[in-house]
Amino acid sequence: MVGVENMDYKLLIEKAKEYINEGFADMGGKIEGPTMLDWYMLASAIKAIRFSNAVIRLCEEDYTKESLPILRSLIEHSINMRWIMAKDTERRLKQYLHDLEEKSLGKSWTNVDLLTRMSNIGFKNRDYYDFVVKYTYSYAHVNASTLDWGEVMDEEILKSKMSSQSIYSIIAQVLGHVLLALNTRYQGKFDYYREIWRHIKKNDKNIRKEFEAIVSSSKA
């Protein structure tokens, strides 16, 4: 794996987006007799790209902290794509759509469900969830139980904890998951996910060490 401090994650993100576009182009730009699953996959791919663009734009304008709630949505969005495509696809899609209708986003079920679904698709322990997902969640729901008050009051601590470079690394990982979900549905059309994950690990192995290295290098 290329060292995290030398990786151009923005370039990797652009490659991932190009691979998504190329995959659909390879399918002729249309899906014959689309099912609900096809509509979900298409809409989800578009949303993932738009979330990614929104987070990057905010980071470029020095609104790094403000991008974190959108980053959280992007992570959850991609995990759901992978989870739905992993097994029992029709049943899981119905459950996902039912949950959206019956329960408000941001409720406690999303946290518990996301952790379970991450485990279902190959995340072997809680490191990624505890170190990345919960961190982004804290900024969407700031209160005494989710964010240390010292961080609320100290702008420099907040800035050093999550740099734009570290955020870009997460987006690149997430788009790798999106590509794999698409390739599971449309075999061989989106196998460029292998190129993304050649640089970014697909699960949570060593995620804490890698993420801290990115944060550390951004402060140098």
Write out pLDDT tens, residues 157-180.
444 456 788 889 889 989 999 999
* Whole-number pLDDT of residue 59: 93
Please report, rounded to a whole number, the percentage of residues in the chain having pLDDT higher than 70: 70
Nearest Cα residue to 177 out of 92, 89, 117: 117
Listed by start position, the domains of the chain span 4-219
Both ends of the chain: CA-CA distance in Å?
A: 22
* Whole-number pLDDT of residue 213: 57
Asked whether 16 and 177 are in contact (CB, 8 A), the reply is no
The band of 139, judged by pLDDT with boundaries at 50, 70 and 90, is low
**CA quadruple 157, 158, 160, 164: dihedral, nearest 10:** -170
Can you tell me whether residue 134 is helix, strand or coil?
Answer: helix
* Whole-number pLDDT of residue 205: 47
List, for residues 49-72, the tens digit of each pLDDT value. Answer: 999 999 999 999 988 888 988 998
Range from 5-14, 78-87, 117-126, 143-152 carrying the lowest mean pLDDT: 143-152
205 vs 176: CA distance, rounded Å: 15
Compute the average pLDDT of residues 38-55: 95
